[in-house]
Structure 1
Amino acid sequence: MADPRRGSLLVATPLLEDPNFRRSVIFMIEHGSEGSLGVVLNRPWTRSSEPPLPEWLAREVILPKVYVGGPVQPDAVVALVPSSADLPGGSKITEQVSMLDLEVETGMSEEHLEVVQFYCGYSGWSPGQLRLEIEEGAWWTFDSSLEEFLCDPSDCWRTVLARQRSAASLLSIYPDQAYMN
């Protein structure tokens, strides 16, 4: 398992029962001496209210993919683009994922706008907090790929675990309600 870093994945272990993070797959946007920040990739927006998306997006003809990025600042929106293309208004996190500046209208093509994923809120850790949670067995860290952005959110946790070349892959078949077996 790799150490957490910008562009890596943080995957909840079966021990993590917090409803905000149970079976979550988090894409790490920042990780350093000042703390860590990421967004949950597999929690689609299901709330009855409209998500707090940028006004310029309302003028576009796409139905955006919106997720709950985490419990911190739910009105803050992070936009990630799973594409290797250089995008206007984008800054690369990895070779295949960019983050958009939502303060300005990007002028992106409809083709690129269709793959943008919006995350309302984020997941954050103070300095040393994430390291402690990993040591306590709450998280695994793995390399990321485009697959996490393209798979069905309900299968994302299992998909990430199944592709690992470690004992973690065996947990991809771990039942949702282990106590019911």
Structure 2
Amino acid sequence: MNLQHHFLIAMPTLQDPLFKRSVVYICEHNSDGAMGIIVNKPMENLTVDGILQKLKISPAPRDSEAKLDKPVFAGGPLAEDRGFILHSAQKTFSSSIRVSDNTVITTSRDVLETLGTPEQPEHVLVALGYCAWEKDQLETELLENAWLTTPANSNILFHTRIAERWREAAKSIGVDIHNIASDAGHA
């Protein structure tokens, strides 16, 4: 089973505050483990424009229609000071890794320098930090029913309202996440 370019959808029973009601986009999954970015937990009071200002990146020429007031996401508990940019695949950068035909993850500054300019990728999601699972750890969590999985789609990743991504990701596989019991009974 390879879950690269899939969403992990937290089950209602998953109560860890970081992962509760989370949607994780899996960027890499192989026999050594998995790596992903939480895509529905925006950081408080931090926008893409704020990141660019902190890094002293001033887009030029600036595209007047560019929306840099988008939130930055808390991508996970590891390397929380490191940026991970998920974006559409029309263009790659110095440290881009293609996750799927349509989605790339980049960690280099050069992608940030295009934001707000005509050169930026069409769709962009900026996160600080990432999630990782060691060998067989994710598979164990799946067997314990901590997560649902579904192939990722760019509509949920880039266009669905943040507050609705958890519900919409589950809905994409026919699950009404709010109707799943959070406690199991014993007879």
Q: Does 1:155 align with 2:164?
A: yes
Identify the match of residue 75 of structure 1 among 64, 77, 81.
81
Structure 1 unaligned regions, length at least 5: none
Matched residue, 1:11:
9
Matched residue, 1:170:
176
May I ask how many residue pairs the two structures share in their alignment? 170
Percent of aligned pairs with the same amino acid: 22
Shift of 1:115: 3.0
Matched residue, 2:42:
44
Shift of 1:69: 0.2
Matched residue, 2:65:
none
The one-letter amino acid of 1:87's match is T
Give the match's secondary structure for 1:9. Answer: strand
Note the alpha carbon deviations across 1:142-177, whole angstroms, 9 max, x for none.
Answer: 101012221111110101111214xxx132x449xx
> What's the C-alpha RMSD, in Å, of the aligned pairs?
3.0
Structure 2 unaligned regions, length at least 5: 63-67
Structure 2 CA distance for partners of 1:53 and 1:117, relative to 1, 3 Å: farther
Q: How does 1:134-153 map to 2 (within 5 A)?
A: 134-149=142-157, 150-153=159-162
Inter-partner Cα distance in structure 1 for 2:72 and 2:46: 13
Give the match's secondary structure for 1:119. Answer: strand
Shift of 1:10: 0.9
- TM-score scaled by length of structure 2: 0.77
Q: How does 1:90-101 map to 2 (within 5 A)?
A: 90-101=96-107
User: Which of structure 1's runs of 4+ aligned residues deviate more than 4 A?
Assistant: 47-54
Structure 2 CA distance for partners of 1:48 and 1:84, relative to 1, 3 Å: closer
Q: Does 1:59 align with 2:58?
A: yes
Identify the match of residue 32 of structure 1 among 30, 33, 43.
30
Q: Is the 8 A contact 1:4 1:10 kept in 2?
A: no
The one-letter amino acid of 1:10's match is L
